[in-house]
Chain A
Amino acid sequence: MMNGLRMYGLLFRASIRSRMQYRFNFWFSSVMLAVISIVEFLLLAIVLLKFGHIKGWSLAEAGWLFSVLSLSRALYRTVANDVHNIESYLVSGELDGLLLRPIPVLSALMSRNVSFRFGEVFQGIGILAVSMSTLMREGQIGWLSIPLTVFVILSGAVLLFAIGLITATAGFWLTRITELQNITEDAARTAVQYPMSIYPRWLQGILVGIIPVGFANYMPGLFVLRGDTGWWMLPLTACIAGALFILALFVWRFGLSRYQSTGS
């Protein structure tokens, strides 16, 4: 385990260094990612400022939901960027090289291309700080919400990772999975950037029951921000993330044994 962490650190530094080889692209993409997600939030903010709230969610609360998800996602993609990009490994047969190493394939894949998401991290921390300080001033939440929020972010990162990994595993059978990822990763995540109460019941059902991204922010948010549910919501959130993660690892191992490689 220690050795694994040390190796990961080394690979992480190497990835940063190799990205820095293309300095312009590195900074430009970081800044652009931040700008894009801030613009997304501004659209939401405009709606909220106009109407005061949507379905009972204030601007500050919506900001919390939005930024918690951004930070979870930034964390997941920083640690395991190439799980999302597995399609290129499957199409080119590059996964072969990873199977030749005496470390788990998933670790090798995760470390191949680390992308530290400065933009999303700064944007997320910024909006989160503003939202939470507003809510604290209004007396809606106390200091305890800070560790709880960190907990929700970590658990959400595990959840998004698990969903990403299960989707990636489908690639062992389907090879091309971009469209599937659009649904399970991108569309689902975009949907829960906004308070889920704005959606019809069936869609809420999907986002909680089938692709449970709702547990990355909205569900634990009900407790952390409003105390709507009991404290049990947080362990439930963590359990769902953990269970899905374990399931994802099993599915991944099974998928790997179905790997067909490519001709050469």
Chain B
Amino acid sequence: MKPMITVHQLSKSFRLPQPAPEGPFRGLRTLMSRQYTEKEAVRGVSFSIASGEFVGYIGPNGAGKSTTIKMLSGILHPTAGEVQIDGLNPHRDRRRVARRLGVLFGQRTQLWWDLPVRDSYDILAAMYGIETDRKDARITELADLLQLGEFMDTPVRKLSLGQRMRADLAAALLHDPDVLFLDEPTIGLDVVAKRSIREYLHSINVELGKTVLLTTHDMDDIEQLCSRVIVINRGTIGFDGTIDELRRRIGLPTLIRVTYRQTPVLSSTGLASYDDSSLRVTEIDGHTVTAECNREAISAMDALRLLEQYGEIEDVHMEEPHFEDVIHNLY
């Protein structure tokens, strides 16, 4: 399939005035200084995203996520490299690319603060040259999907954060873009609002067939929505693949907690036949034994068979590593 977004060797560096060396009047000397340091925010990033994909773009603060998104959407000019959105360059063809893009910045609304939600849509529709009939149909459809009905005529400043995010999402979708960039769409939302935003995002991807690039710090967003993850750290891509590949690569252990009928007798030789890293007892508490198991080296069934040597097993509890911990190890 033809890729929707192609990024080739993309780089961006900022020039920052270099602070003067320590000493008296440091501030003043910095002001007069003509020396700059180049800060490379993004270095040689390449990837391509197919139409209809839902990709998570994650990384710690200051890794270059927002800078990349801004270059993809034509806000920033790259220092080097090339971006193509459906074959168009967002810098040379900013206005044409803008028609194909819907962008949501979770931290900042794009609606008119003092106007009712509906009026913002009217203005946006005029900007994108959407005819009245199509606009009305589109707003009805989006109001239905995102449940905007109850606050359609409320000024934006009076909306709750969850409502505002839905209204903003509808604004990003109003001109029926093929590609959506979502920059932290669940930031600051409560559990219920987060869940509903995720459901909406899922249906936008599946039912409306939009290509979505999502940046977030909420690993549940990534785990529940994205078929693919790109991890950026210090300006370069550290990982690009599916969530399962990411888990496997980091190889965090699965926790197995076994409760025995009788107090288990741990012979010193019992687990010795296995390599230490594949199955390791970490904690013994009465009838309960906790072990870490590397699923790459040993299957869960084999691990249980080994643990059965200590006695009759009454109950088993298995815990997959938290995705958040996986990411933490990657950063």
The residues of A with any CB-CB pair to B shorter than 8 Å are: 3, 6-7, 10-11, 14, 17-19, 21-22, 93-94, 96-97, 99-104, 108, 257, 259-261, 263-264
Chain B residues near A104 (CB-CB < 8 A): 95
Q: Does B66 contact A (CB under 8 A)?
A: yes
Asked if residues A260 and B14 are in contact (CB atoms below 8 Å), the reply is yes
User: Which one, B108, B119, B122, B127, contacts A102 given CB within 8 A?
Assistant: B127
Number of A-B contacts (CB under 8 A): 75
In the complex, which residues 79-100 of chain B have their Cβ closer than 8 Å to any Cβ of chain A? 94-96, 98-99
Chain B residues near A18 (CB-CB < 8 A): 112-115
Chain B residues near A100 (CB-CB < 8 A): 73-75, 98, 101, 103, 110
For the complex formed, measure the closest distance between the CB of A82 and the CB atoms of chain B, giving whole angstroms: 13
Kindly report which residue of chain B lies nearest to residue A20, judged by CB atoms: B114
Asked if residues B122 and A10 are in contact (CB atoms below 8 Å), the reply is yes
Asked if residues A96 and B105 are in contact (CB atoms below 8 Å), the reply is yes
* Interface residue tally for chain B (C-beta within 8 Å): 33
Q: Does B155 contact A (CB under 8 A)?
A: yes
- Expressed in whole angstroms, the Cα–Cα distance for A96 and B113 within the complex equals 16
- Expressed in whole angstroms, the Cα–Cα distance for A100 and B105 within the complex equals 11
- Expressed in whole angstroms, the Cα–Cα distance for A78 and B105 within the complex equals 29
CB<8 Å pairs between A and B, sample of 20: A3-B129, A10-B122, A14-B115, A18-B112, A18-B113, A22-B114, A96-B70, A97-B105, A97-B108, A97-B110, A99-B75, A100-B101, A101-B98, A102-B95, A102-B96, A103-B127, A260-B76, A261-B70, A264-B107, A264-B108
| Closest 5 pairs (CB-CB, A-B) | A18-B114, A102-B98, A7-B126, A102-B95, A99-B75
- Expressed in whole angstroms, the Cα–Cα distance for A257 and B62 within the complex equals 23
Besides the contacts A10-B126, A93-B108, A100-B110, what 8 more A-B pairs have beta carbons closer than 8 Å? A17-B115, A18-B114, A100-B75, A101-B128, A102-B129, A259-B76, A261-B76, A264-B107
Q: Does B183 contact A (CB under 8 A)?
A: yes
For the complex formed, measure the closest distance between the CB of B57 and the CB atoms of chain A, giving whole angstroms: 14
Q: Does B77 contact A (CB under 8 A)?
A: yes
- Expressed in whole angstroms, the Cα–Cα distance for A18 and B119 within the complex equals 10
Kindly report which residue of chain B lies nearest to residue A92, judged by CB atoms: B108
Q: Does B306 contact A (CB under 8 A)?
A: no
Given contacts A10-B122, A10-B123, A101-B98, contact A257 B77 (CB under 8 A): yes
Kindly report which residue of chain B lies nearest to residue A97, judged by CB atoms: B110
- Expressed in whole angstroms, the Cα–Cα distance for A14 and B76 within the complex equals 29
For the complex formed, measure the closest distance between the CB of B5 and the CB atoms of chain A, giving whole angstroms: 16
- Expressed in whole angstroms, the Cα–Cα distance for A260 and B75 within the complex equals 9
Asked if residues A102 and B99 are in contact (CB atoms below 8 Å), the reply is yes
- Expressed in whole angstroms, the Cα–Cα distance for A257 and B71 within the complex equals 12
Asked if residues A14 and B96 are in contact (CB atoms below 8 Å), the reply is no
Chain A residues near B119 (CB-CB < 8 A): 14, 17
For the complex formed, measure the closest distance between the CB of A243 and the CB atoms of chain B, giving whole angstroms: 26
Asked if residues A7 and B112 are in contact (CB atoms below 8 Å), the reply is no
- Expressed in whole angstroms, the Cα–Cα distance for A103 and B94 within the complex equals 9
Asked if residues B155 and A6 are in contact (CB atoms below 8 Å), the reply is no
- Expressed in whole angstroms, the Cα–Cα distance for A1 and B183 within the complex equals 33
For the complex formed, measure the closest distance between the CB of B86 and the CB atoms of chain A, giving whole angstroms: 15
Chain B residues near A17 (CB-CB < 8 A): 115, 119
Asked if residues B75 and A261 are in contact (CB atoms below 8 Å), the reply is yes
For the complex formed, measure the closest distance between the CB of A3 and the CB atoms of chain B, giving whole angstroms: 6
- Expressed in whole angstroms, the Cα–Cα distance for A6 and B62 within the complex equals 41
Kindly report which residue of chain B lies nearest to residue A262, judged by CB atoms: B66
Interface string of B58-80 (1 = CB under 8 A from A): 00001000100010011111000
- Expressed in whole angstroms, the Cα–Cα distance for A108 and B44 within the complex equals 32
For the complex formed, measure the closest distance between the CB of B291 and the CB atoms of chain A, giving whole angstroms: 43
- Expressed in whole angstroms, the Cα–Cα distance for A45 and B94 within the complex equals 52
Chain B residues near A6 (CB-CB < 8 A): 126
- Expressed in whole angstroms, the Cα–Cα distance for A260 and B41 within the complex equals 12
